[in-house]
Structure 1
Amino acid sequence: MNRRDFIHKNTLLSLGAVSLPISNIQAAVIEDTVRLYWAKLLYKIAEPVLKNLSQNTLVKNWKVEYSPNWDNRNAKVAYLEAFGRTIVGAAPWLALPDDTTEEGKLRKKLRDYALLSIKNSVDPDAPDYMLWRKQGQTLVDAAFLAQAFLKAPEALWKPLDALTQKRVIEEFKLMRRVVPPNNNWVLFAAIVESFLLSIDEEADRYRIEFGVRKIEEWYIGDGWFKDGEVFHTDYYNSFVIQPMLVDVLQTWLEANKRQSPNGNHQALQERHTRSVKRMQRHADFLERLISPEGTFPAFGRSVTYRVGAFQSLCHAALIHQLPEGVSPSQVRCALTAVMKRMFAQDGIFDKEGWLTLGFAGHQPNIADSYSNAGSMYLTTLGFIPLGLPATDPFWADTDAEWTQQKAWSGKPFKKDSAVGY
C-alpha cells in the first residue's frame, strides 16, 4: 500500500478532531495503515467461513463452487477444507492479546467465531459437523487444523471445553485410517501426530519419523524438495513442505526436551536447524519472484491458492529467520503490493463474499480437479506475519524496495548464488 497516498486521501478529513501535531498524526497513520489493511483483508476472507460455522449455518448458507473438472469425490469435503485452511492462516494473528484498537476488535470477533467453529465442527449432533470419517482428503485439512493449534495453542486449543478437546483428539486419532500417498501428504500425517505429541497425548511417532525422513530424502538442493519421487515445478514447497517440515521438527524437538530434559537432542536439533536454513533459501527465491509491479508468475498446480504461495517467506518472517540481506520491511512492502494487485481484481469474491475459483479474479478454468471454493482459503497462509506485533520490525520499519524493484531500476541489489546445505 502507498502509505503517503493513503494519508493524503483518507486521513486529513479527521485532523480537526485531533490535538496532536500534524507530523505526529502522519507518523501514527504511517505505522498503522498497512497492518490494518492486512488485518481487514484477512478478516474479509475469513469471516464468511468462521461466522457461519460458528452459527452452524455454513452448509446451509454457502453454495460451494466446484472445479469444472471436479473428480467426483464427496462434495462435503469442501466445508472442512474451508475451515481448516482459513483457521491455519489466521491462527498467528488470533494468538495476539486483546486490545481496543480497530484491529483488536476484529481479531477478537474472529477468534470468538473460530472457537465456536472448532466446537461445532466436531459435534456429531451439529448441523455443520464435518466430514471427518470419510474420504482421505480429510487428513489434509485435519492437518491444517492441527497446525493452527500448534501456532496458537493459548488462543485456539486451551480455551476449548473438555468435551470439544476430547472430540478433536478422537477425530485426529481416527486419521490413522488414511495411508498417505508418497508425496507431501506424509507431512499431513506427521503434523497431526505432532500436535498430539505437543499435548502429551498418545502419538504415533512412526508417522512423524516416516514423514520427516521421506521429505528429507526428497531434498534436491538449493532450497528445493521434490514432492515425491519426481520433481514438480510448483509452489508446494511453500504451500506445505518447507513450513510444515519446520513446524513438525520444532514440535518434535520441544516434546523430546520436555519429556527427556537430560537427553541428547543434538541430532534432532541439527535436523531442525537444517530445515530452517533450507526454508530460508526457498524464501529467498519467493521474494525474488515478486515483480516491481507486485505480480508473481502463475505456474504449477494449485496456483488458485493465491498468496498462500508465499508461506515459506511469511513463515520465515514470523519466526525471525528471513534470509540474509532480505529485510522484514522489504518483505512487507512486496507482499502488500501483491495483495493490492491480486485482491483488487473483480471476481475474486462472489456477491456473498466467498472466495471464488481463480488466481487474479474468477478463473474457474484453471482450477484443478480436486479443487473447490473451500480449497481457495489456503490463501490465508500469506497473512501469517500478522502474528507479529505492531512493534516488530516487520511492521514498524520504514518502507523498503524489494529485490526486483531495485534490480529493474538500476540500483544495487543482493547477488544470488546457490547454497550447499
Structure 2
Amino acid sequence: MGEPKTGLVLGYGVAHPFSRVKLTDRSSVQELLRTLLDPLEPFFSPAKSRVRCPGATAVRFDQAAADLEGICRPLWGLSALLAGGGEYRGTEWWVQGLKSGTDPESPEYWGYPRDNDQRMVEMCPLGFALAVAPVFWQNLTEKERENVENWLGNSINEKNMPNTNWLWFRVFANLGLKKNGGKFSQARLDADIEHLETFYRGDGWSNDGPEGIHQMDYYSSSFAIQFLQLLYAKLAGEDEPARAAEFRKRAQMIALDLAHYYDREGRAIPFGRSVTYRFAMISFWGALAYADVELPAPLTWGMVKGIVMRHLRWWQTQHDLWTPSGTLSIGYSYPNTYLAENYNSPGSPYWACLAFICLAVPETHPFWTSEEDQAWSVIPAIKPLRHPGHIMSCLGDHCMLLSSGQACSYPMKGTHAKYGAFAYSSAFGYSVPTGLFSLEQYALASQLGLSDDGGEYWKSRRLSQYAGLETRGDDGVPVLVSLWKPFPDVTVKTILVPPREDTPNWHLRIHHVHAAGRDVATADGAFAIRNTHSVTGRSLDPYDPAATGGEGTSPRIIGNYDLNTPDGWSTGREGAFAAAVGAGAVGIKALEADTGRSANLVNADPNSNLIEPRTVIPTLQNTLKKGQSAWFVSAIYARPAVDGLAPSNYLDGWDKPPAVPSWLANEPGGTP
C-alpha cells in the first residue's frame, strides 16, 4: 500500500471536522461531505485504485474487494457533489483509481468478479458516477474506456448474483456505460429490472428477495431498492417514461410510511441489518428531490428538508463514531464489531455517502429553498404498516416501531435482535448479543428470552409460524400477533399493543407461554438505557430525585455475578426502571393478576447496544414448570430526554401504567 502518509488524527477531546460544520444550506452540506472524504487521503494506494481504511477487521470476501469498497463507496457522495456543480480537491484520485483498477496490466487491478462477488456491489456507485459525473468517462483514453467496459459490463453480465437487491447493482453497472455510449447489455438490464419487479408487494413496498422471504428493512427504502428506483427514474426516465412514472408513484406512497421512522430530534429508528451505514438512512428523501417526485399531501419540501438536515445534525453530536484517523468506524454511535455483519469491512460504512444525493439537487429546488419544518404535526400518531408488519408510533417524544414476522433470509449474527425484537426506538436503539452465556451476554432488550438450562443459553423470537396485523376491542385497536416456538415443545403467542394518547410512554407486550415439554425460565426485557451517571461516569445509584438529580435505578443494578443479591430484585408489579440524565428513562412492569414474575436490572455486557456502550435492561423473570401455561402482560415504559424536559420529570407517568385491555379476557388460553 506504499509509505504511510500523515492525515487527521483524533485524540482526547478533539472533535472531528464533521461535527464543526454549521449545517444551514446546500454549501454547508457540501462542506460536510468534504470532511468525510479528506481523511481517506492517506489510505489511497500508490496507483489510487484502492483505499484501505484503518482497521485490520477481516471480512467474508478478499482484501482486494475490501479495498475496492474503500474507494467506490465514497463515490456516492463525490459523484452527487460533482453532478450538482460542486468541486472537490481530490477528484483526480478517483479518476486515477478507475484507470488503474480496471487495467488488467496494473498491479492494482481489481480483478474480474466471480459469481456472487462483492465487486458487483461496488459496481453500483461506480456506474452511478459514470452516469452523472462526466469527469470520469471524459478523462479516459479509448483503451481505458475499453478496460472499464470489460470490467464493469462484460464481467458482471456473465455471472450469477444473489436473488436480492444486488440485482440493482448490475442494472447501474450497465446504465453507467449506456449513458456514455459504452458497451453494455440492454437485455441483461431489462431482465434484471423485470425480475426485481417480482419483489414488489404493494403500497410502495418491495421485499428484499422473492416469495418466502419477509425482509423489509432500510434496503427496501434508503439503502437500495426505493433509492435506486428513484435514481433510475431520473437517469432512464426519457427512455422508459412509464416505468419511471411507476417508480415515482411508489415513492409517493411509501413516503407517507417512511415519515414515521425519523423523530423530532433527527434520529432514525435503527432496524435490521447494515445499520453501520448510519446516515444512509435518510438518502430516500434526497432521492425524492433528485428524481423530481411531486410530494404527496400533506408532506412539504420543508418537512423533507427538515428530516434530512436534523438527521445529519444528530450524527454531528455522535463524537465517538470515528477511528483515530478520522475515518468512519464499523459500528453505529461508536466503534462496535458485535453488531457488524460478516460483510462489513473497514470501508463498508462509506455506503453512508448515499445521504449526499441531495447535493445533486439544484440549489433552486424547493428542497433547498424551503424553510425546515416538522412532519410530526401532519402524520398519524399511530399507523399500522401491513407490508413490513409494523405498527408505527410517534407518541412519547420518540419514534418507535412494533414489529412481527420479519426475518433475514439467513441466520446472520444477531438476526433475532435485528429483526425479531418486539420494539425498536429512535431514542434507545437495539442491542445485540456479545456471547452465548447468561442474560448479560444475550442483552435481550425488547425481547422475550426462554432458557431450558437454568439461564445459560437463551432462545428468543427469530422465525414466526404466524405473524399478522389484527385489531382488538370495540374501538379496533391495531395489534401485532405472532406465534413462535423457541423450543419444539414450547409455544408462545405474542400480542403487541401500541401506545395510547393518554399513556404515550407505554406500550404493552402480552405473551401466552405454554411450556408443554420442559421447564423454561423466562426473561422479558425493556429497552436498554445508559447505566452511567452523566457527570461522574460511575454506575447509576438507587433512584433518589433529590440526591441524584433525576438519575438512578430501581431496583439496584446487579452485576454479572451477584444475581441472588436481594436488593437487586423487586416484585413484577413494582417493576424495574433506570433513568439517566441526557438519555431519559425506561422500565417494565408486570400487569397480570396473578404474577409470579420478579423484576431486576440486567447489567448488559458492554458494547451490546448500538447507541450507548454501557447499558442496563429492566427485565421481568420467572420460571414455568413442564406442562404449565401462563399469561404475561408486560407494560414497557420509555421516555427519552428531550429539550425542556427536566430530569426530575423523566419518570412522570411511571406510576400510571395502562390498564390490562378488557378484550384480553376473550383470547384463547384463559384469563390472564
With normalisation by structure 1, the TM-score equals: 0.76
Unaligned runs of at least 5 residues, structure 1: 1-29, 98-103, 258-267, 407-411
Question: Which residue matches 2:494?
Answer: none
Residues 308 and 381, structure 1, Cα contact 8 Å, conserved in 2: yes
Higher strand proportion (structure 1 or 2):
2
Range that drifts further, 284-293 or 212-221: 284-293
Question: Which residue matches 2:313?
Answer: 340
Residues 50 and 117, structure 1, Cα contact 8 Å, conserved in 2: no
3-state secondary structure, aligned to 1:182: coil
Note closer, same or farther for the CA distance 1:293–1:274 as it changes in structure 2 (3 Å cut). same
Residues 301 and 368, structure 1, Cα contact 8 Å, conserved in 2: yes
Question: Which residue matches 1:159?
Answer: 139
3-state secondary structure, aligned to 1:332: helix
Report deviation, 1:350: 0.8
Question: Which residue matches 2:170?
Answer: 189
3-state secondary structure, aligned to 1:202: coil
Question: Which residue matches 2:272?
Answer: 300
Question: Which residue matches 2:443?
Answer: none
Whether 2:180 is the aligned partner of 1:199: answer yes
CA distance in 2, matches of 1:60, 1:177: 27
Q: Structure 1 vs Structure 2: percent identity of aligned residues?
A: 24
Report deviation, 1:38: 1.7
Q: Which has the higher contact order (CA 8 A, sep 6+)?
A: 1
Question: Which residue matches 1:242?
Answer: 226
Higher helix proportion (structure 1 or 2):
1
Whether 2:100 is the aligned partner of 1:120: answer yes
3-state secondary structure, aligned to 1:220: strand
Alpha carbon RMSD of aligned pairs, Å?
Answer: 3.0
Whether 2:23 is the aligned partner of 1:41: answer no
Question: Which residue matches 2:282?
Answer: 310
5 Å matches for 1:75-94? 75-94=63-82
5 Å matches for 1:244-393? 244-248=228-232, 251-252=235-236, 254=238, 257=239, 268-324=240-296, 325-393=298-366
3-state secondary structure, aligned to 1:291: coil
Residues 281 and 323, structure 1, Cα contact 8 Å, conserved in 2: no
Note closer, same or farther for the CA distance 1:228–1:48 as it changes in structure 2 (3 Å cut). same
Residues 318-372 of structure 1 deviation map (CA, whole Å, 9 limit, x = unaligned): 2231522322232222222111212431331111121100122222211111111
3-state secondary structure, aligned to 2:63: coil
CA distance in 2, matches of 1:301, 1:219: 20
3-state secondary structure, aligned to 2:44: helix
CA distance in 2, matches of 1:197, 1:250: 14
CA distance in 1, matches of 2:301, 2:108: 40
Note closer, same or farther for the CA distance 1:78–1:354 as it changes in structure 2 (3 Å cut). same
Unaligned runs of at least 5 residues, structure 2: 1-21, 387-672
CA distance in 1, matches of 2:326, 2:105: 28
Report deviation, 1:181: 1.6
Report deviation, 1:252: 4.9
Whether 2:128 is the aligned partner of 1:147: answer yes
Whichever residue aligns with residue 245 of structure 1, its letter is: Q
CA distance in 1, matches of 2:121, 2:307: 29
Note closer, same or farther for the CA distance 1:353–1:236 as it changes in structure 2 (3 Å cut). same
Residues 52 and 347, structure 2, Cα contact 8 Å, conserved in 1: no
Find 2:57's aligned residue among 55, 60, 66.
66
3-state secondary structure, aligned to 2:331: coil
Residues 281 and 355, structure 2, Cα contact 8 Å, conserved in 1: yes
3-state secondary structure, aligned to 1:239: coil
Report deviation, 1:198: 2.5
Residues 343 and 360, structure 1, Cα contact 8 Å, conserved in 2: no
Find 2:148's aligned residue among 137, 146, 168.
168
3-state secondary structure, aligned to 1:373: coil
5 Å matches for 1:126-141? 126=106, 128-133=108-113, 136-141=117-122
Find 2:214's aligned residue among 207, 223, 231.
231
Note closer, same or farther for the CA distance 1:168–1:39 as it changes in structure 2 (3 Å cut). same
CA distance in 1, matches of 2:246, 2:384: 18
Residues 137-168 of structure 1 deviation map (CA, whole Å, 9 limit, x = unaligned): 1111112210222232x233223343332221
Note closer, same or farther for the CA distance 1:132–1:356 as it changes in structure 2 (3 Å cut). farther
Residues 368-390 of structure 1 deviation map (CA, whole Å, 9 limit, x = unaligned): 11111211111001111112233
3-state secondary structure, aligned to 1:108: coil
Number of equivalenced pairs: 360
CA distance in 1, matches of 2:71, 2:347: 8
CA distance in 2, matches of 1:56, 1:203: 27
Report deviation, 1:397: 2.3
Residues 77-132 of structure 1 deviation map (CA, whole Å, 9 limit, x = unaligned): 111112221102321211233xxxxxx5xx23143333233223324455543344
Whether 2:34 is the aligned partner of 1:53: answer no
Residues 304-329 of structure 1 deviation map (CA, whole Å, 9 limit, x = unaligned): 11111222221112223152232223
Whichever residue aligns with residue 138 of structure 1, its letter is: R
Residues 212 and 245, structure 1, Cα contact 8 Å, conserved in 2: no
Residues 225 and 231, structure 1, Cα contact 8 Å, conserved in 2: no
Residues 263-312 of structure 1 deviation map (CA, whole Å, 9 limit, x = unaligned): xxxxx422221111112323333333110111111111111111112222
Residues 94 and 387, structure 1, Cα contact 8 Å, conserved in 2: yes
Range that drifts further, 107-116 or 176-185: 107-116
Structure 1 segments of 4+ aligned residues over 6 angstroms from their partners: 414-419
CA distance in 2, matches of 1:162, 1:50: 28
Residues 328 and 350, structure 2, Cα contact 8 Å, conserved in 1: yes
CA distance in 1, matches of 2:233, 2:51: 39
CA distance in 2, matches of 1:84, 1:284: 32
CA distance in 2, matches of 1:179, 1:300: 25
CA distance in 2, matches of 1:413, 1:186: 33
CA distance in 2, matches of 1:61, 1:136: 19
CA distance in 1, matches of 2:379, 2:51: 52
Question: Which residue matches 1:263?
Answer: none
CA distance in 2, matches of 1:219, 1:350: 39
CA distance in 2, matches of 1:57, 1:212: 33
CA distance in 2, matches of 1:293, 1:120: 44
Whichever residue aligns with residue 243 of structure 1, its letter is: F
Residues 48 and 97, structure 2, Cα contact 8 Å, conserved in 1: no
CA distance in 1, matches of 2:332, 2:362: 29
